[in-house]
Amino acid sequence: MTVKSVISTISVAGLAAIILAGCGGGEDSTDDATMAGAATESAFESQPPPDASDSDSDVADNIAVAEVLGGGSLPAEWPADLPIPDGRILIASWQELGGTSLGQATFYVADEGAQQAYLEQLTSAGFEVAKSDESLQSDNGVLYDASSGDWLMTVALQELDGNPVVMLVNVFPQ
């Protein structure tokens, strides 16, 4: 998966989460999280495979694209109490839309061990972390649902152009 397709996926997934959050499950916020996770996975699965002639399969090219798009740092609005993985930020966004907040971020991490360390970091910070329903999983990586008293999000552990990444998808307050 290239940076361009990941950015498109994040945009579609974010929009779907906002729409689904507006449809809310009332008092049961788990319904919102499940619907947002399903929308995210659907967006990932709908992405076409990268073209073999795609010129941005090189990591250096991807980083340049991310810098053009404002990657490299978290937005000023990113919540300070939300744990982030150790790694290099590829791209991140935070949107305030009609009283609803929504964040997305992708981090290059050192290896699969760093991906697992982030899940442990979330647990230590008081998040409940569980592997998403099997029907939401794909060959592109593993999805987890993470929630605390304040936050809901989907965590995707994937590879991007051969590099391990942690994607925080559909991060929104409870």
pTM score of the predicted model: 0.60
| Other C-beta atoms lying within 10 Å of the C-beta of residue 98 | 6
Q: pLDDT tens, 53-86? A: 444 444 444 444 444 344 578 999 998 999 999 9
Backbone angle region of 9, left / alpha / beta, with phi > 0 → left and psi within -120 to 50 → alpha: alpha
Q: Report residue 162's pLDDT band, with 50, 70 and 90 as the boundaries.
A: confident
Q: Exposure of 121 by Cβ count < 10 A (0-12 exposed, 13-18 middle, 19+ buried)? A: middle
**Residues whose CB is less than 8 angstroms from the CB of residue 10 and which lie 6 or more positions away in sequence, other chains included:** 91, 93, 104, 106, 167, 169
What is the mean pLDDT of the segment spanning 28-50? 46
Cα separation, 97 vs 83, whole angstroms: 23
